[in-house]
Structure formats: C-alpha cells, structure tokens
Amino acid sequence: MRDHAAARERVRAVLDAVRSAGRTALTAAEAESVAAAYGIPTPPQALATDAEEAVLRAEEIGWPVALKVVSPDVVHKTEAGGVRTGLTGPDQLREGYAALLDSVSSHVPGARIEGVQVQRMVTAGQEVLVGAATDPTFGKIIAFGLGGVLVEALGDLTFRLAPASWDEARSMLDSVRAAEVLRGVRGAPPADRDALTGLLVRVSHLAADFPELTEIDLNPVFAAPDGVVAADVRLLLGEPEESERPRHSTEEILASMRRLMEPRAVVVIGASNEPGKIGNSVMRNLVDGGFAGEIHPVNPKADQVLDRKAYPTVGDVPGEVDVAVFAIPAPLVPAALAEAGRKGVPNAVLIPSGFAETGEHALQAEVVAIARQHGIRLLGPNIYGYYAPWQNLCATFCTPYDVRGGVALTSQSGGIGMAVLGFARATGTGVSAIVGLGNKSDLDEDDLLTWFAQDEHTRCVAMHLEDLKDGRAFVSAARETVRKKPVVVLKAGRTAAGSRAAGSHTGALAGDDAVYDDVLRQAGVIRAPGLNEMLEYARALPVLPTPQGENVVVITGAGGSGVLLSDALVDNGLSLMEIPEDLDAAFRAFIPPFGAAGNPVDITGGEPPSTYEATIRLGLDDPRIHALVLGYWHTIVTPPMVFAELTARVVADARARGIDKPVVASLAGDTEVEEACGYLFDHGVVAYPYTTEKPVAVLGAKYRWARAAGLLPGRP
Amino acid sequence: MRDHAAARERVRAVLDAVRSAGRTALTAAEAESVAAAYGIPTPPQALATDAEEAVLRAEEIGWPVALKVVSPDVVHKTEAGGVRTGLTGPDQLREGYAALLDSVSSHVPGARIEGVQVQRMVTAGQEVLVGAATDPTFGKIIAFGLGGVLVEALGDLTFRLAPASWDEARSMLDSVRAAEVLRGVRGAPPADRDALTGLLVRVSHLAADFPELTEIDLNPVFAAPDGVVAADVRLLLGEPEESERPRHSTEEILASMRRLMEPRAVVVIGASNEPGKIGNSVMRNLVDGGFAGEIHPVNPKADQVLDRKAYPTVGDVPGEVDVAVFAIPAPLVPAALAEAGRKGVPNAVLIPSGFAETGEHALQAEVVAIARQHGIRLLGPNIYGYYAPWQNLCATFCTPYDVRGGVALTSQSGGIGMAVLGFARATGTGVSAIVGLGNKSDLDEDDLLTWFAQDEHTRCVAMHLEDLKDGRAFVSAARETVRKKPVVVLKAGRTAAGSRAAGSHTGALAGDDAVYDDVLRQAGVIRAPGLNEMLEYARALPVLPTPQGENVVVITGAGGSGVLLSDALVDNGLSLMEIPEDLDAAFRAFIPPFGAAGNPVDITGGEPPSTYEATIRLGLDDPRIHALVLGYWHTIVTPPMVFAELTARVVADARARGIDKPVVASLAGDTEVEEACGYLFDHGVVAYPYTTEKPVAVLGAKYRWARAAGLLPGRP
C-alpha cells in the first residue's frame, strides 16, 4: 500500500466489475486481488479450470494445497462441498477435484463453475480472525480475535474504529482476554506482532476507503513468528449507508452554545402565574435563581407573569433573545418555534413531552424542519431543562440548584437527571452545568462536549446516555475533550434486556455493547459501570490532582482494610508500588516493629496521630511515590476528625511546597467518620466511609483518564 | 464402581506396590488399572516388550495407536521422547518404537524400560481436562475445564469439593465460560453430558478415597456424543496431609456458644477505673449497655471498678462464670487464662493484641494449649470483642450499639469491625450480633455459623474473612445454615496483591481465589464483591421476603431508570418476566397510551400516585409475578414521601392478604428521596436513592440465596 491512491483505484475497478456483474460476493480471485492491492498477505494461489491444470499449479505453488470452487452461484463454498483441504500430492488432488465438482453440482444444481482456486495450505502460526463491519452507531469498525471454536464461543473479540492508527491496531493484540497466547505459551513461538498490527491497519483502511464493503472477513489468519497470512478472505458488497445528519463546524457549535450557556436574554414561552404549571416553575426558578440577564415571559393571556411584563408572542419581546424555553403543550410548539425563528432566537429549549417518545414522530420531524429552516438549535424535546450555576441560571421546572463547581452533568432521561440533581445536592457537588438531552432531536452529547471542552468552569464531564445519534461525532468531540479534562460516560442499555428497554434497534446486534465498550475506551472516555459510579466519579475526579506516575502506595492503620484496598487496586488496574529498600526503612522508622512496611504500609491500629502524619508526609514527599491510598481505623487514640484534620494539613502543606499528588482515603469507624470524610473531600482528599472499593475506584478512574489523555507517558 | 469397597481394595493394592517400589509416579499400566477400578474409561491398550509384540497388540486394539514408554525412571514421558502418536500401520509403528527407545535412552541414560504401552488413539469428541488436587484450605478438590491451549490460557476452570455429588458434578459442565461448546457449536455434536458427569463423580471419589494421590490429571479427556475416554491418566503419590485441628461436635459447639452469646455472668479481667484504658471501656460498655446478668471486674489492685466489687483473680469471683473478657497485656494472658480454666470458665474473649499477628507465635500457642487443657473456647486474640444486642451485651472497647435486629456480622479484622459498627449505626441496621474473630486461635466462622444457624434472632449472617482455618468445616456449617438463612461472605485477599497483604501463604497458589469462589458457591454462600456490598446485603436481606419464583417485573415512572434497572437485572442473574398478553393488557389499563407495558412497565413520568398504586397492586396481586423492582421519578405530582407511603401501604395491604413478595425500589429525585428510602426500608421495601444498581443487587443476592437453599425448585 505504498501508493494508497493506486491501491484504491485497483480495488475500485474490482468492485465495479463485481457490481456490474450483478453480484455481491467476491470470488476468491477477486478477493485475492483486493487483498493484494492493500498489502494483505494471502497464500500463493492460482486458478485452474481442470484437474491437470490444478496439479501443475500445485507443483508450482508447493504442496500441500487446498481447492476452492470459483462460482458466482456458490456463496457458501464449504456448505456446498466446494472446498477440499490438505491435499498432499497429485493423486489426492485429482480425487479431491472430482469430488469437489460432484459435490457442488449436487448442492447447487446448474451452478456456473469458472474454475477452482488452488491455494497453498498454511498451518504454521496461531489462528486469528480479522474482520470489518458497519456498526449502526459508529460506522466502520474492525474486529480482532483469536481463532478456534472455543475462543469464538467465548466472544473474545475486540473492536476499533476504522481506519485505525498503528498504535490503536497494536492495542488490539493486548485487548483480547487470551492475549498471552500471541506472546507464545507452552513453548510455542510468539506471533509476529508487527506483521499482525500492519495487517489490522491495512484492513481498517480497506474498510474505511470502501464503505460499500459491508463485510470483510479474514478467517483464519495464521499469525506465525515470521509474518501473517490470511488463509481465507471473504468480501461482500452492499450499499453504503448515507448519513443525512447535518454537521456543524466547531465555530458554529460554540457560537450557539455560548448563547445557550451564557445567555443575556431568556424568554419563557408559556410562562404562567399558576402554581403547579411547568411554565410557572420555570419562571420561578429563573427569577429565584438570580439570573442577572433579561427574563421575559411570553403568554398571550397575561399582562404580567411573576411581576414581569408578559408578551403575547416571542416576536413581541424587545431586543435580542438568546434562549427560548418552551413550556407549552407539544402541539403548540411548531407555531411558536417558527415565531422564535423569525425573531432570530438561536436556541430553543423544548421541555414538553409528546414527541417521538410518545410515538409523535411526525410532530418532532416538523419541529426539526422548522428549526433547520431558521437555524435554531434545539435542546430536547422531552427534558427537564438545564442549569448553569455560574450564570445563576435554572432554566428548568425542577428544584433549583446553585452550588457552583467544576462538574458538567448531562442525562438523556429526566429521571436520571433528577437523580443527578439529588445526588449533587446531597453531596454538595459543585456543578458547572446540568443539562437534559431527552429526545436529542438536534443538540446532543457531541455539541455539549465541544462546549464543555473549552468552558473554563468545567473540569469534568459526566454523561448518561442510552444511544448516540452519531457515534463518530461523539468520538471526535470526546477525544478533543479528553485531552483537557475527564469525560465519564454511563451507557445505559448495556445488556440485551436493557437495550430492549431503551427501545434501541441496535440492541438486537450481538456484541453491540462490546463495540461501545471498545470504542469509548479508544476515545479515552471513562465508562462508569452504573449510575452511582458515574455520580461519584463526577463528584470526585475534579477534587484529585492528576497523578504523575503509576506508583501507588497504601498507608493503613487497619491491616484488614489494607487487604481490601489491595484487592481494589488490582480490580481498578492500579499498581501497588514495589517499595525500594531505603523507602521501606524510612517508613519502618515511624511504625511499630510488628507493623508491616512493604506495601501496604501497615502502621497498625493503636497508633497516635503523629504516626499517620509522619507516614503520610513521607508518602507525599518521596518523589518516587505518585499517589496515596489511606486506610483509617477509628480509635480513641486517633479519632476521625483528628485524622481528617492532620491529613488535610499535611496535604495542604505539601501542595504549598508544590507537591500535588492524588490522595484518597477509606475510613472505617463509627458514624463520626462521615463528618471526617466530608471534611477531607472539602480539603482535596477523596474520602468515603464504610467502603474500601469506592476511593480506589475513583483513583482508578483518574488514572484511566490520565493515561488516555497522554499525561502518564509510561503507559499507553 | 458397583462395588466401591472392592474398587478401593484394588487401588490400595496398586498404590501399596508403587510405594513399596519407592516410586511416586504411577506407570501407565498402573494408572490404567486404578482408572479401571474406578470406572474411568480409557482407550484400549496393552503392554508390549518389543516392536513385533506391539504390532500384534495394535492389530488387536485397532489403528491408529500411540506408544508410551513404561519405565519407573521416566516421569516426564513426553519430554524424554517416550511418546509416539498417530501410528497408522505396522511399519510406522516399528519405526516409532525404535525411535522412542533411542530417544528415551539418550534423555534418561540407564533408564529401566519395562516395555511400551500400546494405546488406541482417540480423537473424536471435545477435548476436556479433569483433575484433582489438594487445596490448602479445602483439601481435596476436583477441577474441570475445556482443553486446548487457548482455554487454558484463559484459566477457564471450575472447582468443586471432592467427593462431588452427581448434581454438583453436573453443575461443573455449565460453570466454565465456554460451556456452550459442550452443547455443540458450529454443527458439532454435543458431548455426552451424563458420561462426563459420571466421570467427574468417579474421579472425585478416587481423590477423596486416596488422599495420598496428590495429583490426578486426566488430560486430555475426549468427550464425544456417545461417551468419554481419558486418553492420558497421570497419577502422583505423595504424603496425605494430616489435620491436627480438634473438631467439636455440634452439641459441644452450641453448649459453649450459648454461654458465650447468652451469658448469665461475665467477668472482665483487667477491668479498670482509668478512662482511656481498654479495661475501662469494656466495663463501661457492659454496664451502660444494660446487660442484665452479672458483671464482675477482676483487678488485683482495685477494690471496686465502676462501683462494682472487684476481685483479685477470676478464681475469687463467686458463682459460675460464662465469659471472661481479657483486657490485660498479652504476656499476662497465660496465667490469667489458666486461672479461668481452673474456675471452669468455658469462654475467653481475648481482646489484647501482641500474639501471632505481631510475630508472637509461641505466646499464642501457649495460650491455645492452656485453653485446650482446660476446655476453654477462645475468641480472638487481637479483637474488639463482641456485641449481642438481644442480651444488651456490649463486651467490647468500641462504642456501644443497641439496635436489635436480625443481622449477625463477623469480621476477621478490627478495622472492618469498626466499619461494620459505623455502617450499622448510620443505617439503623438491626443487629443480632457483631463478633470480632481476629487471629482465630480457636473459635472461627464455622463455630459462629453453627450458633447463628439455630439462633432465632438471627435472620442473616454476614462475614468478613481473610482466610479459613478449616475450609471443610466452614462449608459444612455454611450448608447447614444456608438451608435456614442467607450467609454473605466478603473474602478479602481475592487478588494476588490482596493475598500478599493478608500474609496468606496460600495466596501464592494460582487459581486460589477461583477455588474459594467455586467452593463458596457450592456451599450456597452469597459472596459479596466488596465491603459496602457485604454491609448492604446484610442490612437488606432480612427486610425482603423470600421470592417464590423467578419472574421479576420492573415498574418505573422513569424510562431511563427502567433501562438501567434492566441492565442491573441481567448483571445480577435475574429474569425479566415475559409478560403474558392478559397481564400486559391489565397494566396498560392503568397507564397512558404512550407508556410502555411489557417489562419494564413504563408508567411515564407525569403520573399521579394512583397510577403507581394501581400498577404496584397489580404486580403484587398477580400470582405469576414473583418480585417487583420499582423505579421512582421525583415529580410535583407524586412527591417522594407520597410514593413511599402509598408503596408501603399497598405492600402492607398485600401482606395482610397473605401475599408477600420481595419489593425493591430505586428512587431518582431531589434529596427528599433519602427520607422516602428510609421510610420504605422501615416498611419492608428495600429502597435506595441515586442508584439503580444497589436495589437490584440486593434482590439478586436474595435470589441467589433462595436458589441455594432449594426454595426455588425451578432453578438449581
């Protein structure tokens, strides 16, 4: 593939020929020529039209050989008996050739047989499979897995977006569970990793260059120590899917998003004086929230709403309007939206339900068409609205929220949005935005990511989503964002049952969630396993500084916590640092002789505050240590708040000296540990009571982000 | 194996012969005869002492054959070139025979060669491996897995205690991840499951009958549609491990446990008036806790402790004493313990540390010896003590706890014990006992289980443990207990790092945790993945009634929660019921036309209390539904406490009518949902805010127990 353009031309010619012959399946010879164009190694092979020619070809190619029928009428060659393998000499070949023809003509009567492909048998190396497919969310993806029925039964496959870079393709080799087999087990030689990586890259380009290749299936590929060979190449032609989704430039997105998230004038269409009405709640929240810009009620039947002059239509509102919040029944939305469009309002927040989610697809399509016509961006419909605490903006019918901070939270579902709000309030989580996405008729996660990526208030983005309208756009926005700040995603509908509940048509595809999982990881997103984890990661990640290396040390007053914390570290992909001798001696100097240094550093339970203090300080000061996990045990000698205060002080002191490492803590004790955890959180230490898993899971999430953002160069 | 005794005798004779020959490895012929005695099918085979005899034997047995050297001096036959396979005729055999002899004599010069085993080659069927080994915790275990390097690389093995019952052996076939391969994939015929099960049972008996068989390795076994054949049987003799652990009868355990958990008289050795001393805290907790029995301080230097007469030694205390709590330094324990022994005290609670955990193994051994001599049972040392709220007994130096209820909690570590206490207090969990086990010098989990199984106050047992002193005794006690009430176990040291932190020597064994995992499941124990889950299961399981079937229905006001709840159901091994048409229609009658019946039943977000009420009532009343999962969404129309009260009322009403199904709820909303969850918990509905995972995880744990206890006959 030195000359990519020439390769494309060659393949284009082959595919055009197949298409003009009215076929969808490529013959072995056609597939071979496509493979050759893209540098995909295949075994030596040649076409023969009778048995004697096949013997000649086999003598040239080298024994043993396989025979495969070439016929436009035979799609499933093996099932039709059109494949013979392991032929070691002329006689066997002649017998096989005859049997093959018999078998094919009895299975597919009247099949036109153009000949038989004679192919050198490959058996050396580990069987793997390489493929490409079109995912409904992400488009062209490549798949890799080890071969053999057992591993296929385990579904041990990994996926990446096509085209894939060298590094992305390389990472696939280690992403299957049976990865060590490629490194050589039981004395078997390791596979040629460079050759395999190159093959994956080339297949990914083939898939990306020719969207109409709906199926690319190299199975088996033999990965030997000295190269790879695709023993069977199956290619199918179909119709490339056309996306009719409009794309906006980053500048366009930011221009409208800025007016949505930092508006100067907001109108509420359907503003009402009547308590219990959504139009009343929204007005009240906007006014009570302290939004400093203009707030104009629109209501043709009222002169005033909440002591503000009401206008009959949005067109009557004086001056520029940045956001129109709709609090009117769904059927009334189109007319009002057109009015807003004529007024030049760039953003419509569609709170009402009664659109696609209730089967009213036509109404939603009408609204989308009106919006496009006028260049309005739509948030919703079917949402609770949105919060922008830094603007004192509560454009929602829910309860107000005003704790400013660094977390931007979005949810596709209103119920989950309420859980986000309740959790944020219960934990005092500082928020930069809470946004409902609902039906995502227009604005979706990638627009929001584009905004949050450059929003200085936002230090972490957490998103609940059930589907993605445009997986590629999301990945692209996520990649940009992840360079600057962590993105946490809770993907609902992971399981088939969940997918059905989400009404997702893609849910029926086996492996669908595996694709999401791999692609989200490829994009550098931290996937939360559940709602509570998403919320905790969102709350805690901005509290932690970014680690500068992989060496994690556990310092614990409770040996029992040390064991559970060690388990949690392994579960979360973290590394218990191997403590060098001098550091071990330094820790030992502070702890009782029967305490255990090493890692965890077990300072034992009866120790005074000074022991916690000395060991934590040492852990912060030693530059070889990159993160601390603390296990506290409630005792009379060192009560919870004493521990919390000393820890906060030592951490603050280190930060003042320019040492900023992530510190998380698990507090085991009576209920006073809850207050201590709150104090620690407020002072930059992520701390939880009654759990050894949560603090480590948060640290693990921070590490996953740091690695994905390229901030930990030691690890990919 | 129709005559088990005869089989044992035959094997005994073979093993005796091997041992008297000074060998540890059995020859092929010996292994074959052991296999034959236990009905383990092996391929037709015979011994030959020269090539021509081998040809004759092969003609009788049938081609193709394999040759295996028979030599007391060759342990690793393959490595020595002592195996030749795939010999299809006389000439090949003769060549192979000669090559084999050459190879063996060059690899093991001077090896005594008794002949060559001629064995019919087996290749039909799926390769599996069957083995038995001695686990340091559980003793004899059998292992099963599919064969092949890939699956072995994945560590896809499953374990059971030996001997295994038919059902236990059968369950192994479905416990490997690649289980479907045995059912036949890609057109391959299914394996003979009965034959395979029978083989597992017989191997498990062989392992159990002959503890000195330290290794039994049948690899590969070919599992074909019409039977199984063990192509290679490798047996190794070693020394059976002798357990010197004293066993107590159930009656003995209950007699001493009753006096420990329901004592009439308690002494505190080392009781003190000095605040801050452990002996002072223990006395104060006992007195303040309101224990109604006698409490006697023992202190040679005081006349009174906390206004009670103090005695110089325990021997001076009048009357019978049930429990002596030790609050004195470790070195003083032996003398005081001997004194207690002479007094006839049956239970010593050893709070002090300074024993094995700090390297003072000799001191601990001395204490154990004194206890055995006097028939005293020991709790500890190195513990916080124990709580028995139903006796108002706080025999601990920690903070008191008095919320009576159904949960018995034990922990090996003091730090975890404090987390247990804090969690219980924070959540108001009703407790029947909290017990520290520490170094487990004597009393351990199986003694406690034996007590809790018959303790009428205890409805659920939750145990944190780092190791088991006697895995078999634990399994036996757990099985008995599980029939009556759930047992939750948090096994710390799951990972190699965690194991190292636990200082567990068994941790070095690969697969160690896999054995724990399988055996705990075999015992019917619910394994908690982490500390917080253990605590939540313990709190919630007694609240839920036992489900009567597998049909779970989700009723949700938030579609988004429905999706996440469905995911969680699948994750926890629960079944979303397929709703029959009439039931679907019945649900639809209550919900808006655009709501979704099916399962989840999505009643939609804006509905009044009456919709929640009607659908929940229907879910309780329809006998085809066995459990309900509720997803609540905070709205003005149905505020959190309104939902909580109506749900509690509907559930109570159903219970009054004899309908008692488990109901769990996930509440999404603002912080008022926390109060609503508390209210629901108090009224028998397990409810959590801001999480869709936790309520379903608890329900899943209840189901796992109900299945293990045989209360859900539809599922094993």
Chain A residue closest to B493 (CA)?
A563
Q: What is the pLDDT of residue A512?
A: 76
Q: What is the pLDDT of residue A716?
A: 45
Which residues of chain B have a CB within 8 Å of the CB of A567? Answer: 492-495, 497-498
Angstrom distance (rounded) from CA B626 to CA B95: 69
Q: What is the pLDDT of residue A358?
A: 84
CB proximity list for B606: less than 8 A, separation 6 or greater: A353, B635, B637
Which residues of chain B have a CB within 8 Å of the CB of A280? Answer: none
Res. A654: pLDDT tops 60: yes
Residue B426 tokens read as 């924070």
Burial B316-338 (b: 16+ CB within 10 A, else e): ebeeebbbbbbbbebeebeebbb
Identify whether A163 is preceded by a cis peptide bond (ω within 30 of 0): yes
Do the domain assignments include residue A3? no
Asked if residue B229 and residue B142 are part of one domain, the reply reads yes
Q: What is the pLDDT of residue B172?
A: 95
Do the domain assignments include residue B221? yes
Q: What is the pLDDT of residue A546?
A: 96
Average pLDDT (A477-486) is: 96
Chain A residues 55-74 with CB within 8 Å of chain B: none
Do the domain assignments include residue B9? no
Which residues of chain B have a CB within 8 Å of the CB of A698? Answer: none
**Nearest-neighbour CA in chain B from A497: distance (Å):** 6
**Nearest-neighbour CA in chain A from B546: distance (Å):** 24
Size of interface A-B (CB pairs under 8 A): 285
User: Out of B276, B633, B693, whose CB is closest to A418?
Assistant: B633
Which residues of chain A have a CB within 8 Å of the CB of B556? Answer: 415
Res. B387: pLDDT tops 80: yes
User: Out of A535, A576, A594, whose CB is closest to B690?
Assistant: A535
Do the domain assignments include residue A115? yes
Chain A residues 422-461 with CB within 8 Å of chain B: 422-423, 425-426
Q: What is the pLDDT of residue B181?
A: 85
**Domain count within chain A:** 4
**Nearest-neighbour CA in chain B from A281: distance (Å):** 10
Residue with tokens 């996405």: A437
Asked if residue A95 and residue A135 are part of one domain, the reply reads no
Identify whether B400 is preceded by a cis peptide bond (ω within 30 of 0): no
User: Out of B177, B636, B673, whose CB is closest to A276?
Assistant: B636
- Dump pLDDT digits (tens) for A299-321: 999 999 999 999 999 999 999 99
Res. A498: pLDDT tops 80: no
Helix residue spans in A189-235 (DSSP H)? 193-209
Which residues of chain B have a CB within 8 Å of the CB of A556? Answer: 415
pLDDT confidence tier of residue A502, bands split at 50, 70 and 90 = low
DSSP A492: S
Average pLDDT (B484-497) is: 90
Chain B residue closest to A534 (CA)?
B691
Q: Identify the residue with better confidence: A263 or A30.
A: A263
- Contact present, A93 and A99 (Cβ < 8 Å): no
Average pLDDT (B442-450) is: 96
Angstrom distance (rounded) from CA A187 to CA B364: 48
Asked if residue B499 and residue B361 are part of one domain, the reply reads yes
Helix residue spans in B233-299 (DSSP H)? 250-261, 278-288
Angstrom distance (rounded) from CA B659 to CA B650: 11
Identify whether A240 is preceded by a cis peptide bond (ω within 30 of 0): no
- Dump pLDDT digits (tens) for A91-112: 989 999 999 999 999 988 988 8
- Contact present, B260 and B347 (Cβ < 8 Å): yes
Q: What is the pLDDT of residue A349?
A: 98
Residue A435 tokens read as 């946004």
Q: What is the pLDDT of residue A688?
A: 98
- Is some CB atom of chain A closer than 8 A to the CB atom of B492? yes
A213-224/A126-135 β-pairing: antiparallel
Angstrom distance (rounded) from CA B331 to CA A555: 29
Angstrom distance (rounded) from CA A407 to CA A413: 18
Q: What is the pLDDT of residue B511?
A: 44
Question: Strands (DSSP E) along B507-607, which ranges?
Answer: 526-527, 551-556, 575-576, 601-602
Asked if residue A323 and residue A446 are part of one domain, the reply reads yes
Could you say which of A540, A572, A600 is where a domain stops?
Answer: A540
Do the domain assignments include residue A2? no
- Is some CB atom of chain A closer than 8 A to the CB atom of B79? no
Asked if residue B136 and residue B86 are part of one domain, the reply reads no
CB proximity list for A70: less than 8 A, separation 6 or greater: A27, A28, A29, A47, A113, A114, A115, A116, A117
Chain A residue closest to B401 (CA)?
A670
A431-436/A385-388 β-pairing: antiparallel
Asked if residue B163 and residue B144 are part of one domain, the reply reads yes
Res. B155: pLDDT tops 80: no
pLDDT confidence tier of residue A241, bands split at 50, 70 and 90 = low
- Is some CB atom of chain A closer than 8 A to the CB atom of B694? yes
The number of CA neighbours under 13 Å toward the Cβ of B121 is 14
- How high is the mean pLDDT of chain A? 92
Instruction: Verify whether the Cβ–Cβ distance B532 to A357 is below 8 Å.
Output: no
- In chain B, % of residues over pLDDT 70: 96
- Is some CB atom of chain B closer than 8 A to the CB atom of A568? yes
Q: State the pTM of this model.
A: 0.92
User: Out of A495, A673, A694, whose CB is closest to B567?
Assistant: A495
Which of A531, A579, A698 has the highest number of chain B CBs within 10 A, making it the mutation to test binding with B?
A531
Which of A150, A394, A410, A550 has the highest number of chain B CBs within 10 A, making it the mutation to test binding with B?
A150
Do the domain assignments include residue B36? no
Do the domain assignments include residue B676? yes
A221 backbone dihedrals φ, ψ, rounded to 5°: -105, 135
Q: What is the CATH number of the domain that holds A230?
A: 3.30.470.20
Instruction: Verify whether the Cβ–Cβ distance A493 to B411 is below 8 Å.
Output: no
Asked if residue B56 and residue B141 are part of one domain, the reply reads no
Instruction: Verify whether the Cβ–Cβ distance A532 to B571 is below 8 Å.
Output: no
- Is some CB atom of chain A closer than 8 A to the CB atom of B186? yes
Which residues of chain A have a CB within 8 Å of the CB of B562? Answer: 501
Instruction: Verify whether the Cβ–Cβ distance B419 to A668 is below 8 Å.
Output: yes
Average pLDDT (A510-538) is: 90
User: Out of A415, A426, A560, whose CB is closest to B560?
Assistant: A415
Strands of B323-326's sheet in order across: B294-298, B265-269, B323-326, B347-350, B377-379
Asked if residue B498 and residue B583 are part of one domain, the reply reads no
User: Out of B418, B631, B691, whose CB is closest to A415?
Assistant: B631
Could you say which of A121, A144, A160 is where a domain stops?
Answer: A121
Helix axes A445-454, A250-261, angle to 10 degrees: 80
Which residues of chain B have a CB within 8 Å of the CB of A532? Answer: 690-691, 693-694
The residue type at B74: V
User: Out of A357, A418, A560, whose CB is closest to B668?
Assistant: A418
Q: What is the pLDDT of residue B70?
A: 87
Which residues of chain A have a CB within 8 Å of the CB of B276? Answer: 636
Res. A663: pLDDT tops 50: yes
Q: Identify the residue with better confidence: A627 or B607.
A: A627
B126 backbone dihedrals φ, ψ, rounded to 5°: -85, 130
- Is some CB atom of chain A closer than 8 A to the CB atom of B418? yes
Chain A residue closest to B696 (CA)?
A530
pLDDT confidence tier of residue A511, bands split at 50, 70 and 90 = very low
- Contact present, B45 and B72 (Cβ < 8 Å): no
**Nearest-neighbour CA in chain B from A55: distance (Å):** 27
Please, which residues bridge with residue B237 across strands? B213
Res. B476: pLDDT tops 70: yes
Could you say which of B172, B205, B237 is where a domain stops?
Answer: B237
Of B102, B62, B56, B136, residue with least CA distance to B511: B136
Q: What is the pLDDT of residue B460?
A: 97
- Contact present, B230 and B40 (Cβ < 8 Å): yes
**Nearest-neighbour CA in chain A from B60: distance (Å):** 29
CA dihedral (A143, A144, A148, A150) positive or negative: negative
Q: What is the pLDDT of residue A79?
A: 80
- Dump pLDDT digits (tens) for A23-35: 888 988 899 999 9
Asked if residue A429 and residue A281 are part of one domain, the reply reads yes
Q: What is the pLDDT of residue A150?
A: 64
- In chain B, % of residues over pLDDT 90: 75
**Nearest-neighbour CA in chain A from B13: distance (Å):** 36
- Is some CB atom of chain B closer than 8 A to the CB atom of A700? no
- Is some CB atom of chain B closer than 8 A to the CB atom of A535? yes
Chain A residues 331-360 with CB within 8 Å of chain B: 353-354, 357-359
- Dump pLDDT digits (tens) for B306-349: 999 999 999 999 999 999 999 999 999 999 999 999 999 999 99
Average pLDDT (A554-576) is: 94
CA dihedral (A22, A25, A31, A34) positive or negative: positive
Q: What is the CATH number of the domain that holds B53?
A: 3.30.1490.20
Angstrom distance (rounded) from CA A195 to CA A203: 12
User: Out of B146, B466, B694, whose CB is closest to A563?
Assistant: B466
Instruction: Verify whether the Cβ–Cβ distance B411 to A560 is below 8 Å.
Output: yes
Average pLDDT (B377-389) is: 96
Average pLDDT (A563-573) is: 95
Asked if residue A134 and residue A95 are part of one domain, the reply reads no
Average pLDDT (B391-400) is: 93
Angstrom distance (rounded) from CA B645 to CA A362: 40
Q: What is the CATH number of the domain that holds A698?
A: 3.40.50.261
For residue B74, CA distances in Å to B35, B71, B79, B82 come to 20, 5, 9, 8
Q: What is the pLDDT of residue A606?
A: 82
Asked if residue B313 and residue B174 are part of one domain, the reply reads no
Which of A564, A579, A666 has the highest number of chain B CBs within 10 A, making it the mutation to test binding with B?
A564
Do the domain assignments include residue B715? no
**Residue A237: how many CB atoms within 10 A of its CB?**
17
Q: What is the pLDDT of residue B239?
A: 81
- Dump pLDDT digits (tens) for B501-549: 665 333 233 347 889 999 999 999 999 999 999 999 999 999 999 999 9
Question: Domain range spanning residue A49?
Answer: 44-121
- Dump pLDDT digits (tens) for A337-380: 999 999 999 999 999 999 998 889 999 999 999 999 999 999 99
Chain B residue closest to A578 (CA)?
B497
Asked if residue B72 and residue B132 are part of one domain, the reply reads no
- How high is the mean pLDDT of chain B? 92
